[in-house]
């Protein structure tokens, strides 16, 4: 399992009239975690795009357990549990800093698209190799 944690502070603009983080913002927090996870592997999204691969979200799920509020420091834990075949699944948990119970959890599933044709493609070998190395190191 490849795990990466990144932090984000809740901005006032992230909250709604009920003074809690608006539910749609959690998908943005997932995106922050996802980008940080992939960057931590030495392959930022910009590099994937330069190499001709796009990773659009084709499915997203979030379950909300407890609210986050303005100025909370959140930890976003992003996990890749298995090598991608046709798609890449990333799981997420969002914690208020130093708390054990998640505020929210969910996942995103991504397709691999060829930037030139816009059609689905297999995960590129270099991407799979990076994930294999990271998975082996985490065992």
According to DSSP, residue 114 is labeled E
Are 33 and 92 in contact, with CB atoms under 8 Å apart?
A: yes
Length, in residues, of the chain: 139
Taking the CA of residue 104 as centre, how many other CA atoms within 13 Å lie in the half-sphere pointing to its CB? Answer: 25
What is the reported pLDDT for 45?
Answer: 87
Range of the domain at 78: 2-138
Domain count, the chain: 1
C-alpha 70/C-alpha 13 separation (Å) is 9
What is the reported pLDDT for 139?
Answer: 75
pLDDT, tens digit only, all 139 positions of the chain: 999 999 999 999 999 999 999 999 999 999 999 999 999 999 898 999 999 999 999 999 999 999 999 999 999 999 999 999 999 999 999 999 889 999 999 999 999 999 999 999 999 999 999 999 999 988 7
Domain harbouring 48, CATH code: 3.10.129.10
> Going by C-beta distance under 8 Å and a sequence separation of 6 or more, which residues neighbour residue 78?
3, 4, 5, 6, 30, 33, 34, 36, 37, 90, 91, 92
Its pTM stands at: 0.94
């Amino acid at each position: 399992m490849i795990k990466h944690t990144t932090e984000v502070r809740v901005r006032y603009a992230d909250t709604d009239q009920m003074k809690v983080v608006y539910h749609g913002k959690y998908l943005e927090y997932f995106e922050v975690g996802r980008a940080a996870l992939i960057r931590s592997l030495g392959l930022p999204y910009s590099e994937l795009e330069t190499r001709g691969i796009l990773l659009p979200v084709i499915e997203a799920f979030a379950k909300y357990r407890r609210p986050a509020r303005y100025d909370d420091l959140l930890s976003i834990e992003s996990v890749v549990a298995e090598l991608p075949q046709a798609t890449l699944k990333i799981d997420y948990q969002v914690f208020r800093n130093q708390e054990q119970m998640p505020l929210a959890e969910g996942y995103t599933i991504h397709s691999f698209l060829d930037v030139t044709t816009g059609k689905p493609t297999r995960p590129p070998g270099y991407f799979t190799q990076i994930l294999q190395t990271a998975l082996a190191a985490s065992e």
